[in-house]
Structure 1
């Protein structure tokens, strides 16, 4: 009798547990294309003609990018901002740096620290 009671209790607990499966027939809506097959084939032929396939694994997005700055200018910007970046990434998250910068600037009567619009 103990065994039957244990089985009945276990089955009652399992039946009372919430089921997280979706309803039968819950399927995602079917895909509906916004382009016709002819339009897709035309785009594909344009990419093939240009020699570029943006969906390829080896597609280089930066191949056509050209910088307007020189290497020396970029290095100078980096070295100028390096101490500021180190201060903000430090243990105090830059609060000592901000306090030092606030003390160095003269206080204005109408200074706004933040404005919500």
Structure 2
């Protein structure tokens, strides 16, 4: 048992956030996009945004609070290869917000 605890302790020391790398930083980019949507849109505006990019809001966590729903929406758009379309629409609706773009970072 002590040996197992020692091994586990060793692994914990090696596995730290600064030691973890993703190939493209997708999680951080997705988080920033989600965070900005939550900051700059209310529930009704998020629903209108969904309609404007061809997504039925009733299919995206309809009873969840705004942060959860926004995350599900971002994930949905990414799964369907429509992140660029989403960012373009977000830029049209909120031009003063620093949305990610292809020159800086890619989410698809």
Q: TM-score, length-normalised on structure 2?
A: 0.30
Higher relative contact order, structure no. (Cα contacts within 8 Å, ≥ 6 residues apart):
2
Rg larger in structure: 1
